[in-house]
Structure formats: C-alpha cells, structure tokens
Amino acid sequence: MSGSPSPIIRRAEPEDAAIILRWRLEPSTSHFQPLRPRTVDELRTRLQQRRSEPLDTTLDSEVQWTILDNGIPAGWVRLEVTSREHRVGSVGYTVATAHRGRGLATAALHEVARLALDPHGLDLWRLEANVASANLASRRVLAKAGFVHEGHARGLVVIAGARVDHERYALLRSDLFSHD
C-alpha cells in the first residue's frame, strides 16, 4: 500500500445498525470487548439518539462515527465525554476483520482526537482508552495514535463471564497540540 491510509469518519447513521451488529458479532471483537447483546432495532435506536445529539462543548455525551475505507463502512469509533467538568473523554473502536492491518483505526483515532482535544472543537483535555491486555493489535493502534501507556488494571471488566485485565492509555491535549 502506498502512502498512509486516509479514512473518512462520519457520524454513524441509524442505517449502519445492521453492519455494526455484524462487526460486534465477529469473534475477534466480542473476544476483547464487553459488548452488551443488542438487536438491530436497539442499535438503530441508539444510533438515532447519538446522531441527534449535537457535538456539544458543555454536556457529557456520547458520539459514534463510522470509519469509511474508500467509501465502504469498515468500523466504528466511539467517544464518550465522561466528565465535562474535568474535560475527560473515553474512546473505543473496532475495525472489521476484512479491513484490518491497514492503519484505519490509527488514522480514525487521530481524527477523533483532533476534534475532541481541539480547544475550538469539543475542548477536552484528556482522552482515555482501556484495552484488554491480550489485545496486542489494539495496544499497537493506541501507541501509534500517540496514546501513552499509563498502567495495568487487573480484572477491570467481565468479558464472556471472565474478569479480564486491561491496559490503560491516555492522550493529553498537550501531547497532540504542543503549543498549549
């Protein structure tokens, strides 16, 4: 592949529900993420709610984007503003198996981080991500996107009935915009 990948992220649409459900059911996704079971209708409703929320700099909120690989839906990135008071957000992402290994997740995280941490964007100061310790590919994605490993969280969440250790990563506004 020549050059770096240039995915386009767009706000996830209710029409994306069926493909998102397929990605959620991929073994490599469900193996590493504590995803609640959802129907297509439930996903469609959630996407409609998220889509109707403005990108607001004053509210705690959750936004989801679809990653496009040459116009084809290839994954998702989710940003949850966990504390507007402290200007902290949390990111999560998935790339469909057929689209992995081309840098799409890294590039999409760069785009979301720029929007989230920009003082003229969502005006957050810190983005956090937790990734299953055994998910080496996702850990590489975070490192390539500039996130710094901050520690190991033992038994952080339950996935498929078992407590799973996670690695904690964060990206600060000052990491991304050195002039701050």
CATH of the domain at 80: 3.40.630.30
DSSP-assigned beta bridge partners for residue 69: 72
Residue identified by tokens 């600060």 is 172
Interatomic CA distance for residues 64 and 160, integer angstroms: 24
- Is residue 121 domain-resident? yes
pLDDT in tens, 6-25: 558 999 999 999 998 888 88
- Is residue 60 domain-resident? yes
Count Cβ neighbours within 10 Å for each residue of 11-48 and write b for 16 or more, e otherwise. Answer: ebebebbebbbebbeeebbbebbeeeeeeeeebbebbe
Task: Name the residue range of residue 30's domain.
Answer: 8-128
Backbone angles phi, psi at 134, to 5 degrees: -80, -10
- Is residue 133 domain-resident? no
Output the pLDDT for position 3. 54
Q: What is the pTM of this model?
A: 0.86
- Is residue 78 domain-resident? yes
- Is residue 153 domain-resident? no
pLDDT in tens, 91-135: 999 999 999 999 999 999 999 999 999 998 899 999 999 999 999
Structure token digits, residue 130: 């937790």
| pLDDT band of 180, cuts 50, 70, 90 | very low
Interatomic CA distance for residues 57 and 51, integer angstroms: 16
Between 19 and 36, the more confident residue is 19
- Is residue 96 domain-resident? yes
Domain count, the chain: 1
- Is residue 27 domain-resident? yes
Interatomic CA distance for residues 82 and 51, integer angstroms: 18
- Is residue 163 domain-resident? no
Structural contact between residues 65 and 74, judged by C-beta atoms closer than 8 angstroms: no
Instruction: State the Cα angle at 157 between 125 and 9, rounded to 5°.
Output: 45
